[in-house]
């Protein structure tokens, strides 16, 4: 089978592994993901399994999508059935939509995302007059308890503390409110599936018999329920094949348990363990630096990693005089690199999202196209969430959180005191808020105006619900926008510009709904995708320059990588300094960052980063991870130690840093004055076929038209197009699938 020719002997061993548990334990860039892809193709081509009996689990939806495409490429087109490739969460949702009635929920359950959870917990804190606690804190404790099979009843006993009783009470309320709302949070998606399989062996056997081969990527970041799920699903056939790297476990804060991978061989006796030691991604220098850093950790098995790639450049570390100056330094190097290697893909990686600011500013000023992961994703925009909340209420009227979100959005005379009356009534009677509308409207103490508003809202809701099974989702959404005068609200609240952007997003959502139905998906499949889609799933993989957190970068690779903000207190983060366990996780994060780089790696830091815009008292020290790197492979480490004299604002046109770099001549020719056109010209590379205003284009649905205007909004471009057939429309370029004429 020639497919095996592109694999080294160890990889091939893994791909050809027969039945029974297997663990591929290997360092970064050694081809773990590649092994999964090839193994799936191999199982299918060799006839070991039909495609649909294979389940592969990835960490993100994006990774799932990519894996699907890679398998297609190996297998060639036109297969009738497909393997199921999905995240754990998406897999569970799919399954629960069919099976959850066993657990007493209705199949039209809602999914509460982090924002919904917070709203619910805030509400609970208010109701129980515990407003001194932060919803976020309580939720993280509750989540931890849930994921460790600790019920509210035993919580105080298991985790004794001053607030334990309180937390336990809140936990109990939270759970019962979720259940009453016919809603599941992200944790529940996994936990309810585990519960289903535990309580109903027949259901477990059904799925276990169906999915004969189960493969898991990034196993080092699985949590306990995911582990249990895996055990339940593979108890019979034991065909569980996982790949991972204990040095890349970076999601402890989300419940990931590194012990899953460390004790896999014990958990699944008879495991065949395969190590991959050749790295295909990075230069020798990059690999050695990465290895030197992670070697300072103790909670690891240790591994060798070598490469046939060339030594590559020495890594450069730069100490900047301010965060702004750091960004200028990085951008100047990006400009140089883009002249030298126009097709290189670049990533700027940092510890926390707020650090993207300066890089965005400078990139925009220089007119360099870029995308940011972590800016507000499409489905988390306010206007989109509003619309989704309407849909959720219509399909699951018990969804109190969604109802409270929209009950007075747009403002319709149902103010805070009326809302309070509604929640009180619902709480007292143990009914959903949608059922309290009527009662509160009729209540003698409700003011006439409020009563009228409630009746009107109730009628609208009824009307929409009557349409829910006959109208299309798109039609229903259009109707909601119209009935609620949503656009008028936007125009009143914000600039016309902003209102237009938001309406364009709503129109996009409506089109997405139409496409979803054209694919014969149910409304729930549409809503589920919205709930589970993350920003990372929406990024343009072809973008030349990507800004993102180190966490988001896991699993990706870039020719050129910048690791910015390497300061004590920031990276490693201050919160991790007093626990060795947490510190080791930070170090793994650093290892992940370094090993994203194929060709070149640059490091940077500044003693003088401002926090909250103000001067941050003491200058910062360079990150300890810099000290852990071998001095002969990294230049500029000597610039260590904070200088207490601040440089003058260092202009990027005359910085005195190494002019000896190959980027030298390129620089002068590239630096220009920032201008408006430049900013507008900054566009995702995928669309570099450059749509411009004045251009004639064709749209699948609207026909031919002329682009009147094109503006950047976040990672997207908003196009105003006049179509000859349907007139003026505002579209988002990324989704519009336009064809230039």
Ligand X SMILES: Nc1ncnc2c1ncn2[C@@H]1O[C@H](COP(=O)(O)OP(=O)(O)OP(=O)(O)O)[C@@H](O)[C@H]1O
Partner DNA sequence: GGACAAGGGATTTTT
Partner DNA sequence: TCCCTTGTCC
Q: Does 188 bind ligand X (CB under 6 A)?
A: no
730 φ, ψ (degrees, to nearest 5): -110, 125
- In whole angstroms, the minimum distance from the beta carbon of 353 to DNA comes to 3
Distance CA 482, CA 584 (A): 54
Q: Are 123 and 131 in contact (CB under 8 A)?
A: no
Cα distances (Å, whole numbers) of residue 188 to 12, 80, 226: 38, 33, 11
Q: Does 591 bind DNA (CB under 7 A)?
A: no
Q: Does 89 bind DNA (CB under 7 A)?
A: yes
DSSP lists the bridge partners of residue 739 as: 698
Would you say 33 or 599 has its CB closer to ligand X? Answer: 33
CA 569, chain centre distance (Å): 25
Q: How many CB atoms lie within 10 A of CB 252?
A: 16
Closest CA to 211 of 40, 335, 9: 40
The stretch among 83-91, 199-207, 320-328, 664-672 that binds DNA (CB under 7 A) is: 83-91
Return the axis-axis angle of helices 448-467 and 433-442, rounded to nearest 10°.
140
Q: Does 28 bind ligand X (CB under 6 A)?
A: yes
Q: Does 580 bind DNA (CB under 7 A)?
A: no
Reported as type and span, the H/E element at residue 329 is: helix 323-340
Query: End-to-end distance of the chain based on CA atoms, in angstroms?
Result: 44
Q: Does 555 bind ligand X (CB under 6 A)?
A: yes
- In whole angstroms, the minimum distance from the beta carbon of 660 to DNA comes to 34
DSSP lists the bridge partners of residue 372 as: 547
Query: Has 217 been annotated as catalytic?
Result: yes
Three-state DSSP state, 605: strand
Cα distances (Å, whole numbers) of residue 208 to 20, 213, 216, 229, 231: 14, 9, 15, 11, 10
Query: Has 33 been annotated as catalytic?
Result: yes
Q: Does 349 bind ligand X (CB under 6 A)?
A: no
- In whole angstroms, the minimum distance from the beta carbon of 163 to ligand X comes to 39
> What are the DSSP calls for 228-257, one per residue?
HHHHHHHTTT--EEEEE-GGG---GGGTB-
Distance CA 600, CA 346 (A): 10
Catalytic residue from among 113, 187, 217, 568: 217
- Out of 149, 198, 435, 575, the only residue in the binding site for DNA (CB under 7 A) is 575
Residues making up the chain, counted from first to last: 741
Using CB distances below 5 to 8 A depending on partner kind, what does residue 500 bind out of ligand X, DNA, none?
none
- Out of 8, 114, 709, 724, the only residue in the binding site for DNA (CB under 7 A) is 114
Q: Which of residues 223-262 bind ligand X (CB under 6 A)?
A: 245, 248
The stretch among 23-31, 105-113, 119-127, 307-315 that binds ligand X (CB under 6 A) is: 23-31
Would you say 210 or 354 has its CB closer to DNA? Answer: 354
Catalytic residue from among 10, 11, 12, 33: 33
Would you say 312 or 555 has its CB closer to ligand X? Answer: 555
Residues 6+ apart with CB under 8 A from 648: none
Using CB distances below 5 to 8 A depending on partner kind, what does residue 30 bind out of DNA, ligand X, none?
ligand X
Would you say 389 or 536 has its CB closer to ligand X? Answer: 536
**Locus of tokens 């309290």:** 436
Q: Which of residues 479-518 bind DNA (CB under 7 A)?
A: 492
Q: Does 8 bind ligand X (CB under 6 A)?
A: yes
Q: Does 595 bind ligand X (CB under 6 A)?
A: yes
Cβ burial, residue 291 (10 Å; 0-12/13-18/19+): buried
- Out of 38, 68, 281, 718, the only residue in the binding site for ligand X (CB under 6 A) is 281
Residues 6+ apart with CB under 8 A from 708: 693, 720, 721, 722, 728
The stretch among 99-107, 508-516, 558-566, 611-619 that binds DNA (CB under 7 A) is: 611-619
Distance CA 529, CA 360 (A): 29
Q: Does 285 bind DNA (CB under 7 A)?
A: no
- In whole angstroms, the minimum distance from the beta carbon of 619 to DNA comes to 17
The single-letter DSSP state of residue 373 is S
Query: Has 600 been annotated as catalytic?
Result: no
Q: Does 423 bind DNA (CB under 7 A)?
A: no
- In whole angstroms, the minimum distance from the beta carbon of 605 to DNA comes to 15
Closest CA to 457 of 420, 485, 478: 485
Distance CA 437, CA 423 (A): 10
Tokens of 381: 């925009």
User: 371-372 and 110-112 as β-strands: parallel, antiparallel, unpaired?
Assistant: unpaired
- Out of 11, 87, 453, 623, the only residue in the binding site for ligand X (CB under 6 A) is 11
DSSP lists the bridge partners of residue 298 as: none
Three-state DSSP state, 23: strand
Query: Has 596 been annotated as catalytic?
Result: yes
Residues 6+ apart with CB under 8 A from 119: 401, 404, 405
Q: Does 358 bind ligand X (CB under 6 A)?
A: no
Q: Which of residues 29-58 bind ligand X (CB under 6 A)?
A: 29-34
Would you say 32 or 412 has its CB closer to ligand X? Answer: 32
Would you say 565 or 705 has its CB closer to DNA? Answer: 565
Distance CA 65, CA 539 (A): 12
Closest CA to 193 of 81, 55, 83: 55
Would you say 49 or 534 has its CB closer to DNA? Answer: 534
Would you say 11 or 53 has its CB closer to ligand X? Answer: 11
- Out of 450, 512, 513, 732, the only residue in the binding site for DNA (CB under 7 A) is 450
Would you say 616 or 685 has its CB closer to DNA? Answer: 616
- In whole angstroms, the minimum distance from the beta carbon of 717 to ligand X comes to 30
Q: Residue number with the shortest CB distance to ligand X?
A: 31
The stretch among 299-307, 362-370, 423-431, 571-579 that binds DNA (CB under 7 A) is: 571-579
Catalytic residue from among 226, 234, 248, 271: 248
Q: Does 534 bind DNA (CB under 7 A)?
A: yes
Using CB distances below 5 to 8 A depending on partner kind, what does residue 414 bind out of ligand X, DNA, none?
DNA
Query: Has 301 been annotated as catalytic?
Result: no
Distance CA 99, CA 189 (A): 12
Reported as type and span, the H/E element at residue 739 is: strand 739-740
**Number of amino acids touching ligand X (CB under 6 A):** 19
Q: Which of residues 343-382 bind DNA (CB under 7 A)?
A: 351-354, 373-374
Tokens of 407: 């009950």
The stretch among 199-207, 395-403, 435-443, 549-557 that binds DNA (CB under 7 A) is: 549-557
Would you say 225 or 555 has its CB closer to ligand X? Answer: 555
> What are the DSSP calls for 578-590, one per residue?
T-HHHHHHHHHHH
Residues carrying an active site annotation: 32-33, 217-218, 248, 596
Which residues of the shown chain bind DNA in the complex (CB under 7 A)? 59-61, 87-90, 113-114, 134, 136, 186, 251, 253-254, 351-354, 373-374, 408, 411-418, 447, 449-450, 492, 532, 534-536, 548-549, 551-552, 573-576, 582, 611-614
Which residues of the shown chain bind ligand X in the complex (CB under 6 A)? 6-8, 11, 26, 28-34, 245, 248, 280-281, 555, 557, 595
């Amino acid at each position: 089978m020639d497919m095996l020719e592109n694999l080294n002997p160890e990889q091939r061993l893994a791909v050809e592994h027969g039945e029974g548990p297997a663990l591929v334990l290997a360092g970064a860039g050694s081809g773990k993901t590649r092994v999964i892809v090839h193994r799936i193709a191999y199982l299918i081509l060799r006839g070991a399994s039909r495609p649909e009996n294979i389940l592969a689990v990835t960490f993100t939806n994006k990774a799932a999508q990519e894996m699907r495409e890679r398998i297609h490429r190996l297998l060639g087109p036109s297969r009738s059935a497909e393997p199921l490739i999905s995240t754990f969460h998406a897999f569970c949702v799919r399954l629960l939509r069919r099976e959850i009635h066993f657990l007493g929920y209705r199949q039209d359950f809602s999914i509460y995302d982090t924002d919904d959870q917070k709203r619910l917990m805030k509400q609970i804190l208010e109701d129980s007059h515990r407003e001194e606690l932060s919803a976020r804190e309580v939720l993280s404790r509750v989540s931890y308890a849930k994921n460790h099979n600790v019920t509210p009843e035993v919580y105080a006993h298991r985790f004794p503390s001053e607030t334990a009783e309180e937390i336990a009470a809140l936990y109990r309320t939270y759970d019962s409110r979720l259940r009453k709302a016919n809603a599941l949070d992200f944790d529940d998606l996994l936990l309810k599936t585990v519960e289903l399989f535990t309580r109903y062996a027949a259901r477990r056997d059904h799925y276990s018999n169906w999915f004969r081969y189960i493969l898991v990527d990034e196993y080092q970041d699985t949590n306990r329920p995911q582990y249990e799920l895996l055990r339940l699903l593979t108890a019979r056939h034991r065909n569980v094949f996982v790949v991972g790297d204990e040095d890349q476990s970076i999601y402890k804060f989300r419940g990931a348990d590194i012990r899953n991978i460390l004790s896999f061989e014990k958990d699944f006796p008879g495991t065949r363990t395969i190590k991959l030691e050749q790295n295909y991604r990075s230069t020798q220098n990059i690999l050695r630096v990465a290895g030197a850093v992670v070697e300072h950790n103790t909670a690891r098995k240790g591994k060798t990693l070598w490469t046939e790639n060339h030594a590559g450049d020495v890594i450069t570390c730069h100490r900047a005089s301010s965060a702004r100056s750091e960004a200028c330094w990085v951008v100047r190097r990006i400009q140089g690199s883009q002249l030298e290697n126009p097709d290189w893909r670049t990533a700027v990686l940092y510890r926390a999202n707020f650090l993207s600011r300066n890089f965005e500013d400078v990139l925009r000023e220089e007119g360099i196209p870029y995308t940011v992961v972590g800016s507000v994703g499409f489905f988390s925009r306010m206007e989109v969430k509003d619309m989704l909340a309407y849909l959720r209420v219509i399909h699951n009227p018990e969804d109190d959180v969604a109802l409270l979100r929209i009950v007075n959005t747009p403002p319709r005379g149902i103010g805070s005191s009326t809302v309070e009356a509604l929640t009180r009534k619902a709480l007292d009677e143990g009914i959903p808020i949608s059922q309290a509308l009527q009662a509160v409207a009729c209540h003698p103490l409700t003011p006439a105006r409020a009563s009228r508003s409630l009746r009107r809202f109730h009628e609208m809701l009824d009307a929409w619900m009557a349409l829910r099974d006959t109208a299309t989702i798109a039609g229903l959404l259009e109707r909601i926008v119209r009935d609620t005068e949503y656009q008028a609200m936007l125009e009143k609240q914000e600039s016309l510009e902003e209102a237009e952007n938001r309406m364009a997003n709503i129109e996009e959502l409506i089109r997405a709904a139409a496409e979803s139905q054209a694919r014969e998906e149910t409304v729930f499949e549409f809503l589920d995708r919205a709930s589970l889609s993350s920003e990372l799933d929406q990024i343009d993989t072809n973008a030349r320059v990507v800004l993102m957190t180190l966490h988001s970068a896991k699993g990706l690779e870039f020719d050129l990588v910048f690791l910015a903000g390497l300061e004590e207190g920031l990276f490693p983060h201050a919160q991790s300094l007093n626990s060795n366990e947490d510190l080791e996780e930070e170090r793994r994060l650093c290892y992940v960052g370094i090993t994203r780089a194929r060709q070149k790696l640059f490091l940077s830091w500044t003693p003088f980063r401002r926090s909250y815009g103000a001067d941050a008292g003491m200058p910062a020290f360079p990150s300890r991870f810099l000290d852990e790197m071998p001095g002969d492979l990294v230049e500029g480490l000597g610039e260590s130690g904070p200088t207490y004299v601040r440089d003058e604002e260092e202009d990027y046109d005359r910085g005195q840093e190494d002019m000896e770099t190959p980027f030298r001549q390129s620089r002068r020719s590239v630096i220009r004055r920032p201008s408006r056109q430049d900013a507008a010209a900054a566009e995702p590379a995928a669309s570099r076929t450059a749509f411009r205003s004045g251009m004639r284009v064709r749209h699948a649905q609207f026909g031919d038209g002329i682009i009147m205007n094109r503006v950047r909004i976040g990672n997207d471009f908003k196009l105003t197009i006049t179509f000859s057939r349907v007139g003026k429309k505002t579209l988002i370029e990324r989704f519009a699938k336009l064809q230039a004429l």
